């Protein structure tokens, strides 16, 4: 069996849409020493391919960070195989809130230096000295206090469409950029009760240890992140204090948590919280686009990109090759994104 996918994404997406069975979208992580992540990578790829599982998994010496889409009829076997490895025994699974079964269309398992790119030298502080984990009930109770500082440890394009009440949402493009920003924002509040949250909890593990090392005395983190918060409030009939959507890093790009829409279309300004990637694959910019603008611009961010995306595929590939020599901006970096409303006025 091949250890890498070699099929065109259009073919894979078409096959996914034709599936007649349901899938479960799940995320899980664990900081644990992996002796041979490269060998484990190949083993997991073979196991998960055999179960027709899709998703994106990062392995490193420090652990695993996975987002997966598993056929419902293979779910119990998938869990059994994961738990059978001593490093991942009883690893907490976080099931997606909204799931149409189309979150991933292929399987990627990669070995990296870290399971989350944080830019930190872990040897300079105790990464195991993390903050106190709070349940959804405890987090809600803490949010009601006047003396707390709530920090969203996600990137700006995530918090733009949804966040907790009272949250400070740093204008950061990456987690690496956000950590020093948060330290600066919290300067002078070392004795305050600090509440951290992120999507599934993994970024808060590192952030809480980082802040404790910097002298913050009462650091707390939402256990299981936003994903598990929603499960808990539903199961325990708790008040929902998260407003809007939870951004997710898969084909869905978001899970609705509350009915409020707190962001706007980047092209026309209409209330909207639907992220999309520009239909011009050479651009692929991540931005918010309403249904009307999506139809008007064929899913593109500008008329120039619209023109390119409507060209025959071979012509698009030719143009792409001509541009490959130049630097390519991250699709998430808002600072590199033009003001689309201003561009469209010209």
**What pLDDT, on the 0 to 100 scale, is given for residue 126?**
84
Tokens of 36: 């041979």
The answer on 192 and 93 residing in a single domain is no
Residue ending a domain, choose from 111, 142, 176: 111
Collect contacts of 235-239 with beta carbons under 8 A, ≥24 apart: 236/136, 236/137, 238/136, 238/137, 238/140, 239/140
Contact assessment for residue 320 and residue 281, using Cβ atoms and an 8 Å cutoff: yes
Domain-embedded: residue 97: yes
The answer on 101 and 187 residing in a single domain is no
Whether 265 sits among the annotated catalytic residues: the reply is: no
The answer on 140 and 103 residing in a single domain is no
- The CATH number that applies at residue 26 is 3.30.70.100
pLDDT of 7 above 70: no
Contact assessment for residue 25 and residue 67, using Cβ atoms and an 8 Å cutoff: yes
Alpha helices in 214-290 (DSSP H): 225-236
Residue ending a domain, choose from 236, 256, 286: 236
- For residues 198 and 133, what is the distance between their CA atoms, to the nearest angstrom? 13
The answer on 78 and 137 residing in a single domain is no
Identify the active-site residue in 198, 290, 301, 305: 198
Residues 16-22 have a mean pLDDT of 90
Report percent pLDDT > 70 for the chain. Answer: 92
- For residues 183 and 238, what is the distance between their CA atoms, to the nearest angstrom? 31
The answer on 305 and 231 residing in a single domain is no
Of 247, 246, 250, 249, whose CA–CA distance to 103 is shortest?
A: 250
The answer on 134 and 45 residing in a single domain is no
Domain-embedded: residue 153: yes
The answer on 179 and 230 residing in a single domain is yes
Contact assessment for residue 287 and residue 305, using Cβ atoms and an 8 Å cutoff: no
Look at the chain and count its residues. Answer: 346
If one compares 86 and 6, the residue with the highest pLDDT of the two is: 86
- The CATH number that applies at residue 222 is 3.40.250.10
Strand pairing report for 148-152 and 193-197: parallel
pTM of the model: 0.86
3-state secondary structure of 326: coil
The answer on 179 and 92 residing in a single domain is no
Helix H, strand E, coil C: the string for 17-55 is HCCCCCEEEEEEEEECCCCCHHHHHHHHHHHHHHCCCEE
**What pLDDT, on the 0 to 100 scale, is given for residue 142?**
97
Phi, psi of 56 (to 5 degrees): -135, 120
pLDDT tens per residue across span 188-205:
999 999 999 999 999 999
Domain-embedded: residue 269: no
The answer on 232 and 157 residing in a single domain is yes
Angle at 48 between CA 45 and CA 51, to 5 degrees: 145
The answer on 93 and 73 residing in a single domain is yes
Domain-embedded: residue 135: yes
Domain-embedded: residue 327: yes
Domain holding 323, by residue range, is 275-345
pLDDT tens per residue across span 143-178:
999 999 999 999 999 999 999 999 999 999 899 999
Residue ending a domain, choose from 187, 219, 236: 236
How many domains is the chain partitioned into structurally? 3
Alpha helices in the chain (DSSP H): 9-17, 37-50, 75-83, 136-143, 156-159, 175-185, 202-213, 225-236, 291-296, 303-309, 313-323, 340-345
C-alpha count within 13 angstroms, C-beta hemisphere, residue 22: 8
The answer on 128 and 100 residing in a single domain is no
Domain-embedded: residue 317: yes
The answer on 41 and 129 residing in a single domain is no
pLDDT of 335 above 60: no
């Amino acid at each position: 069996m091949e250890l890498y996918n070699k099929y065109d994404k259009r073919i894979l997406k078409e096959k996914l849409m034709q599936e007649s069975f349901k899938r479960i979208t799940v995320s899980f992580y664990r900081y644990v020493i992996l002796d041979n992540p490269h060998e484990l990578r190949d083993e997991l790829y073979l196991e998960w391919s055999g179960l027709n599982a899709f998703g994106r998994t990062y392995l490193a010496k420090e652990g695993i960070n996975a987002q997966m889409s598993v056929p419902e009829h293979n779910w119990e076997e998938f869990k059994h195989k994961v738990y059978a490895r001593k490093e991942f025994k009883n690893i907490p699974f976080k099931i997606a809130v909204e799931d149409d079964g189309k979150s991933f269309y292929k399987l990627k398992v990669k070995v990296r230096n870290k399971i989350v790119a944080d830019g930190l030298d872990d040897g300079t502080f105790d990464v195991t000295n993390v903050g106190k984990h709070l349940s959804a009930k405890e987090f809600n109770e803490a949010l009601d206090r006047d003396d707390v500082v709530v920090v969203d440890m996600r990137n700006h394009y995530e918090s733009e469409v949804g966040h907790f009440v009272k949250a400070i949402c740093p204008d950061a493009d990456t987690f690496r950029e956000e950590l020093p920003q948060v330290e600066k924002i919290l300067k002078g509040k070392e004795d305050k009760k600090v509440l951290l949250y992120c999507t599934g909890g993994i970024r808060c593990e590192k952030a809480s240890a980082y802040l404790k090392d910097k002298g913050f005395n009462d650091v707390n983190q939402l256990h299981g992140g936003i994903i598990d918060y929603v499960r808990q409030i539903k199961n325990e009939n708790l008040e929902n204090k998260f407003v809007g959507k939870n951004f997710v890093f898969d084909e869905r790009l978001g899970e609705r948590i509350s009915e409020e829409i707190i962001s706007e279309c980047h092209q026309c300004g209409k209330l909207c919280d639907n992220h999309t990637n520009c239909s011009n694959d050479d651009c692929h910019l991540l931005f918010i686009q309403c249904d009307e603008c999506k139809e008007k611009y064929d899913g593109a961010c500008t008329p120039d990109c619209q023109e390119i995306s409507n060209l025959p595929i071979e012509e698009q590939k030719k143009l792409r090759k001509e541009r490959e020599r130049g630097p390519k901006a991250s699709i998430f970096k808002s600072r590199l994104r033009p003001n689309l409303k201003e561009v469209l006025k010209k």
